[in-house]
Amino acid sequence: MRNIYISDTGKDEQDGLTSKTPIRSWARYLKIKSGNDNLVLMGNPETILQRLHTEIEKRNQQQSDQA
């Protein structure tokens, strides 16, 4: 199992595999995840979770609109 780091200040161009190279978006996480990865939230968990929740809801709505 590996850690994938996500942060409000992360960049999706990074690999997310260290605390110095966190990613920002759920979409990027979905692209790089494999198997049983551990998601590590860096910074304020409440703001990160709210932002990710909003991103996931938007993605779900777009998929539902396309169906």
| pLDDT tens track for 15-59 | 999 999 999 999 999 999 988 899 999 999 899 999 999 999 998
Given this model, what pLDDT does residue 66 score? 84
Quote the pLDDT of residue 3. 96
pLDDT score, position 53: 93
Residue 62 is predicted with a pLDDT of: 87
Beta-carbon contacts of residue 29 (< 8 Å; ≥ 6 apart) = 4, 6, 16, 23, 39
Q: What's the pLDDT band for 65 if we cut at 50, 70, 90?
A: confident
CA–CA distance, 58 with 53 (Å, rounded to integer) = 9
Under DSSP, the state recorded for 14 is S
Whole-model pTM? 0.84
The answer to whether the beta carbons of residues 16 and 4 sit under 8 Å apart is yes
Yes or no: say if 15 and 50 are a contact pair by the CB < 8 Å rule. Answer: no
